[in-house]
Amino acid sequence: MKGDTKSPPGGGVKRERGLISLVGAGPGDPGLLTCRAVEVLERADVVLYDRLVDPAVLEYARQAERIYVGKRPEHHSMSQDEINALLVRRAAAGARVVRLKGGDPFVFGRGGEEALAAREAGVRFEVVPGITSALAAPAYAGVPVTHRELAAGVTVVTGHEDPEKLETQVDWARLAAAHETLVILMGMGRLAEITTMLTQHGRPSETPVAVIENGARASQRSLFATLQDVAERVREAGLSSPAVVVVGEVASLGETLAWVESRPLSGLRILVTRARAQAGELSRRLRAEGAEALEFPTIEIRPPAEYAPLDRALACLGEYAVVAFTSVNGVEAVLARLHEQFARDARAFAGCEIWAIGPKTAEALAAHGLRADFVPREYRAEALLAACKSVDLRGRRFLLPRADIARAALAEGLAERGAVVEQVDAYRTFAVGGAREAVLERLEAGTLDVVTFTSSSTVRNFVSQFSDEEVVRLRDAVVFASIGPITSETARELGVPPSIEASEYTLEGLVEALIAYHSGVPRD
């Protein structure tokens, strides 16, 4: 019958045929990843990724098997033929395979070779373009590769050709004679040779040159020189691969238009210890200010051990005078359970006052159609108690949906004022390991500057992963930053006293405190 489908032997749904997706991860900044790339990564079964792919990009493929196939000078974890064979083999078995490359897969990324291998094997493939570093790195260094008065075109070449080729395919003589901008990728190892060839073939020795190391990353460094002295200047500055070299008059604009390295947190390496689901927001804010955000979640949010106490409370919400939310997690857990178990929405809170600690908690409520009746100026339990000290709470029923390890200060303070308080676990906070080795590795390399704490649980779970000796080493090498006084108190008790504390106990306040500290501006 037309339109009829048959189940595969043994029943079940027929699996979609395998597919190879050649995906460009962009030049380094995770914010430059395309929407299509995110979509493909989220549904991937297997991801083969390169050395220059930012770890934050891989987070979109949390459910996938990840295989590192990166290449460093003189060291390849896997040959190109082996990569091609692996791609074909896994896709032929029905998997959705992503080949994730820095920049664009078809711009010196060997994506063409991998596409040909797929075609020859009869395996489906698609190409998801990425932003090439040939354009992005100069842009992040303030160098426009074209300009109406300085350059009418741009040529992109490789400085590292296939060593097995008998002769070069790059016509350096023609490039030297041309007037357009020349962008050289993978040329740092031959920079002196390349600049000599260009000058010998007629490009003026005073031609401006820009060298951008780690372009579009928080660790980006830019150097502006001329063909005559750039190789020596690069050696003196210690710049190395990966780097993009721009030759032409437009390079002279870099020193005027540079913007990335002037951002307030430029070059700062900051560890984010929030729960994985929430770390992204703080990381994005830090990256926007120029920092390198390193996500090492130390806590994980899970459902409560049992739903019965929460369900009993939600079944009779109208009997409470006040429902007090102390976190975004509490809001999301309660509203999700209310919908799933009782098929109810914000209308279930009719007749209740709603209190919220912190603007983010209030915003989370608003997203569900609930307006907080009361939000204290300071975002902690003590401030809420102080703000309502003139209110008669005797006999009023309070519901506090909270974490299993939440502080008892609010419940105890309300009870002392005569309120009838019911606390229920809306979610649990679990410790997550795995950060220790990565943190110690960065500590040894001197590539970690700040560790941020956004709650007492992040402090406890972070410190628990290290020995006393390692905590001392951390304390001597990095700065600790806290979101507020309660978190700071826990940090001091555990031997990691913060040098930075937000005056407004929010992510925005924490970022502002980091900026003030990094710039040396005194704070009130």
Segment 77-87, tens digit of pLDDT: 789 999 999 99
Which residues, 6 or more positions from 173, have their beta carbon under 8 angstroms from its beta carbon?
Answer: 201, 202
Give me the mean pLDDT over the 271-275 stretch.
80
Q: Quickly state the pLDDT bin for 56 (edges 50, 70, 90).
A: confident
> What pLDDT does residue 312 have?
93
Edge to edge, what strands does the sheet with 299-302 contain? 299-302, 420-431, 397-403, 322-325, 353-356
- Name the nearest CA neighbour of 159 among 181, 190, 201, 128: 190
Give me the mean pLDDT over the 12-24 stretch.
75
How many CB atoms are closer than 10 A to CB 470?
15
Q: Quickly state the pLDDT bin for 76 (edges 50, 70, 90).
A: low
> What pLDDT does residue 430 have?
74
> What pLDDT does residue 436 have?
79
Residue range 234-265, pLDDT digits in tens: 999 999 999 999 999 999 999 999 998 889 99
How far is residue 26 from each of residues 260, 263, 284, 524, measured CA to CA in Å?
A: 17, 21, 16, 41
Q: Quickly state the pLDDT bin for 45 (edges 50, 70, 90).
A: very high
Residue range 99-132, pLDDT digits in tens: 999 999 999 989 999 999 999 999 999 999 999 9
User: Alpha-carbon distance 150 to 162, whole Å?
Assistant: 32
> What pLDDT does residue 388 have?
76
> What pLDDT does residue 74 have?
56
Judge whether 20 and 83 are in contact, CB under 8 Å.
no
Domain limits, the chain: 19-131, 135-262, 269-298+432-519, 303-427
> What pLDDT does residue 438 have?
81
Q: Which tokens in the block code for residue 25?
A: 């991860």
User: Residue 17: is its pLDDT beyond 90?
Assistant: no
50 is catalytic: yes
> What pLDDT does residue 168 have?
65
Which CATH architecture best describes the domain 135-262? 2-Layer Sandwich (3.30)
- Which candidate in 2, 45, 54, 71 is catalytic? 71
Q: Quickly state the pLDDT bin for 5 (edges 50, 70, 90).
A: very low
User: Residue 405: is its pLDDT beyond 90?
Assistant: no
Q: Which of 133-147, 273-287, 447-461, 481-495 has the lowest mean pLDDT?
A: 273-287
Residue range 368-391, pLDDT digits in tens: 999 998 887 766 667 777 777 778
Place of tokens 């006052």: 353
User: Residue 26: is its pLDDT beyond 90?
Assistant: yes
How many CB atoms are closer than 10 A to CB 289?
19
CATH topology of domain 303-427: Rossmann fold (3.40.50)
Judge whether 194 and 161 are in contact, CB under 8 Å.
no
What mean pLDDT is reported for the chain?
87
Cross-strand bridge partners of residue 453: 482
User: Alpha-carbon distance 255 to 142, whole Å?
Assistant: 7
Same topology between domain 269-298+432-519 and domain 303-427: yes
- Name the nearest CA neighbour of 454 among 271, 269, 274: 274
User: Alpha-carbon distance 248 to 361, whole Å?
Assistant: 52
Q: What are phi and psi of 396, to 5 degrees?
A: -80, 135
How many CB atoms are closer than 10 A to CB 255?
14
User: Alpha-carbon distance 44 to 262, whole Å?
Assistant: 37
368 by DSSP, 3-state: which?
Answer: coil
Q: What angle do CA 377, 383, 384 make, to 5 degrees?
A: 90
DSSP E strands in 32-130: the ranges are 46-49, 65-68, 71-72, 75-76, 96-101, 125-128
Look at 212 and 280; give whichever has higher pLDDT: 212
> What pLDDT does residue 150 have?
94
Residue ranges of the alpha helices (H) in 97-159?
111-121, 133-140
CA dihedral 444, 448, 454, 455 (to 10 degrees): 10
Which residues, 6 or more positions from 415, have their beta carbon under 8 angstroms from its beta carbon?
Answer: 421
DSSP, res 103: B
> What pLDDT does residue 336 have?
93
SS (H, E, C) 402-425: EECCCCCHHHHHHHHCCCEEEEEE
Residue range 171-227, pLDDT digits in tens: 889 999 888 999 999 999 999 999 999 999 999 999 999 999 999 988 899 999 999
Look at 352 and 281; give whichever has higher pLDDT: 352
Judge whether 495 and 518 are in contact, CB under 8 Å.
no
Helix H or strand E encompassing 399: strand 397-403
Residue ranges of the alpha helices (H) in 405-506?
409-416, 436-445, 456-463, 468-477, 485-493
User: Alpha-carbon distance 366 to 343, whole Å?
Assistant: 19
> What pLDDT does residue 514 have?
96
- Which candidate in 29, 45, 50, 54 is catalytic? 50
- Name the nearest CA neighbour of 102 among 92, 91, 113, 110: 110
User: Alpha-carbon distance 384 to 379, whole Å?
Assistant: 8
Q: Quickly state the pLDDT bin for 335 (edges 50, 70, 90).
A: very high
Which CATH architecture best describes the domain 269-298+432-519? 3-Layer(aba) Sandwich (3.40)
Cis status of the peptide bond prior to 242, with omega within 30 of 0: yes
Q: What are phi and psi of 270, to 5 degrees?
A: -120, 130
> What pLDDT does residue 1 have?
38
User: Alpha-carbon distance 58 to 64, whole Å?
Assistant: 9
43 by DSSP, 3-state: which?
Answer: coil
User: Residue 157: is its pLDDT beyond 80?
Assistant: yes
> What pLDDT does residue 277 have?
58
Look at 17 and 273; give whichever has higher pLDDT: 273
How many CB atoms are closer than 10 A to CB 132?
23
29 is catalytic: no
Q: Quickly state the pLDDT bin for 54 (edges 50, 70, 90).
A: confident
> What pLDDT does residue 162 have?
54
Domain 19-131: CATH class, spelled out: alpha beta
